[in-house]
Amino acid sequence: MVETNWAGNLTYRAAELRKPESLGELADVITASPRVRALGSRHSFSPIADTEGTLVSLAQMPREIEIDTGAATARVSAGLRYGDLVPALDAAGFALANLASLPHISVAGAVQTGTHGSGDRIGSLATQVVGLDLMTADGEVRMLRRGEPDFDGAVVALGALGVVTHLTLQIEPTYEIAQTVYEGAEWDEVLPRFDGVTGAGDSVSLFTTWQDAGAIDQVWVKARPGRAHADAVRAAGGREADGPRHPVPGVAPEPCTVQGGMPGPWHSRLPHFRLEFTPSAGAELQSEYLIDRRDIAAAVEALRGLASKIAPLLYVCEVRTMAADDLWLSPAFGRETVGLHFTWRPDSAGVEALLPRIEEALPASARPHSGKVFTMDADSIRRRYPRWDEFAALRERMDPRGRFTNDYLARLGLG
């Protein structure tokens, strides 16, 4: 079997890839395999899903979207991509509070790795989860609901507790979003008014190539009607772009969602990219570090000091914000958070040589995204999650034989 991730930087070592079509078939796969890892949409750049045992994809499982209008929830199949889920929600008059930049990713994969969009008042995608169904090592489905014991440890669990089969998501009435891109802002002007800039809309992203250590190339402001307040962006030097833009300089903007302040459905504005196009730069690597919001000035200064090293390897760096949450392994656990996301050129050796310098320079609050490329050692990672030991105990209790562990988790002390 030769299977790779989306970027092609990782070839999975699994002996087989199974695609069950029912819960019964999934149970058979899990109970018959000494080692099992769930494989989502393959948009992880780290070996988090890798295994020498059995990879299991839920892509052939029945597609289910069950909307409870009274509870304002939707129970959905874990293997669904957001791009396939959100039109159905919208057609029923409902929406999610936020989306990631790519609609191509699977719901369960995004949730289990703590993936996020942007927004000062909005949590990661995992915070939308009010319930999850988890098939454990014995082939039985355990249902966990918000407020119950173990729930906060199980939502962002890196696939270490079992295979998520369904998620119940909080939904809300559908809404519109308008997206406007600004160019020309400067870090020296943004940092003193950072709260105003990131609060200019419901979802705000800052893009820089670090070619000019003082420049922010683009600021993307996504806002519901009446919620855009771009005064701080303009005060920081931002001016509205004179046409559509791609985050990566020089790339045609056709893959991107509609800009120019034109309102449209939430699901066609919150992502940066459209489902029918290859997202981002295509051939690339990605890293991300999630820092305490209070450390943003120190983090930017650290990256500015490394700009001459970063820029030759980089397509673009995106800065996003998110609200704090209570999910044990969430990168936003316990603090308002800023994500520093790097889309790298496909130079694995160069990137891996640079990452230790970035990790050493960033504030000690930096937590690496588990689905991205990083080199931080296990002890450093564990120290940055206050409830790490509790999660390790939960993993031991729910999967004592380590059926769902792999080398990646074992390196972190989770198997």
Q: Is residue 314 part of a domain?
A: yes
Q: Is pLDDT larger for residue 104 or for residue 133?
A: 133
CATH classification at residue 292:
3.30.70.2520
Average pLDDT, rounded, for the chain? 96
Alpha carbons within 13 A on the beta-carbon side of 260: 8
Mark whether 140 and 200 lie in a shared domain: no
Q: What is the pLDDT of residue 415?
A: 82
Residue 11 has pLDDT above 70, yes or no: yes
Q: Is pLDDT larger for residue 287 or for residue 104?
A: 287
Mark whether 161 and 207 lie in a shared domain: no
Mark whether 203 and 327 lie in a shared domain: yes
325: which 2 tokens? 């949450």
Distances (CA, A) of 368 to 12, 148, 351, 392: 21, 28, 15, 18
Average pLDDT of the segment spanning 355-361: 98
Average pLDDT of the segment spanning 254-272: 96
Count how many domains the chain has. Answer: 2
Residue after which a domain boundary falls, among 123, 148, 174: 174
253: which 2 tokens? 């903007």
In this prediction, residue 134 has a pLDDT band, given cuts at 50, 70 and 90, of: very high
- Interval 146-168: pLDDT, tens: 999 999 999 999 999 999 999 99
Distance of CA 44 to the CA centre of its chain: 9
- DSSP per residue, 243-304: S---SSTTS-STTBPP-TT--EEGGGTSSSB-TTS--TTSS-EEEEEEEEGGGHHHHHHHHH
- AA letter at 179: Q
Q: Is residue 372 part of a domain?
A: yes
Mark whether 284 and 164 lie in a shared domain: no
CB 255 within 8 A of CB 246: yes
Pairing, β 314-322 against β 203-208: antiparallel
Mark whether 169 and 227 lie in a shared domain: no
Q: Is pLDDT larger for residue 29 or for residue 283?
A: 29
Q: Is residue 43 part of a domain?
A: no
Strand, coil or helix: what is 327? coil
Specify whether the backbone of 324 is left (phi greater than 0), alpha (psi in -120 to 50) or beta: beta
Name the H helices within 33-123.
82-91, 107-112
23's enclosing H/E stretch is helix 23-32
Residue partners of 338: CB distance under 8 A and separation at least 6? 290, 291, 292, 293, 295, 296, 299, 319, 320, 321, 322
CA angle (168 as vertex; 165, 381 as ends), nearest 5? 75
Q: Is residue 394 part of a domain?
A: no
Residue 2 has pLDDT above 90, yes or no: no
CB 348 within 8 A of CB 5: no
In this prediction, residue 357 has a pLDDT band, given cuts at 50, 70 and 90, of: very high
Q: Is residue 46 part of a domain?
A: no
Residue 394: name the closest of 77, 134, 70, 118 by CA. Answer: 134
Q: Is residue 15 part of a domain?
A: no
Residue 242 has pLDDT above 90, yes or no: yes
Q: Is residue 154 part of a domain?
A: yes
Mark whether 152 and 237 lie in a shared domain: no
Mark whether 220 and 344 lie in a shared domain: yes
* Pairwise CA distance, residues 375 & 353, whole Å: 9
Mark whether 99 and 183 lie in a shared domain: no
Mark whether 240 and 218 lie in a shared domain: yes
Q: What is the pLDDT of residue 279?
A: 64
Domain of residue 136, residue span: 65-174
- Interval 165-203: pLDDT, tens: 999 999 999 999 999 999 999 999 999 999 999 999 999
Q: What is the pLDDT of residue 278?
A: 65
Mark whether 232 and 302 lie in a shared domain: yes
Q: Is residue 184 part of a domain?
A: yes
Residue 276 has pLDDT above 80, yes or no: no
Residue after which a domain boundary falls, among 154, 174, 194: 174
Q: What percent of the chain has pLDDT over 90?
A: 93
CATH classification at residue 131:
3.30.465.10
Residue 80 has pLDDT above 70, yes or no: yes
In this prediction, residue 280 has a pLDDT band, given cuts at 50, 70 and 90, of: low
Q: What is the pLDDT of residue 269?
A: 96
Mark whether 130 and 193 lie in a shared domain: no
Residue partners of 313: CB distance under 8 A and separation at least 6? 344, 345, 347, 350, 351, 354
Mark whether 146 and 223 lie in a shared domain: no
Residue partners of 198: CB distance under 8 A and separation at least 6? 118, 120, 204, 206, 321
Residue 277 has pLDDT above 80, yes or no: no
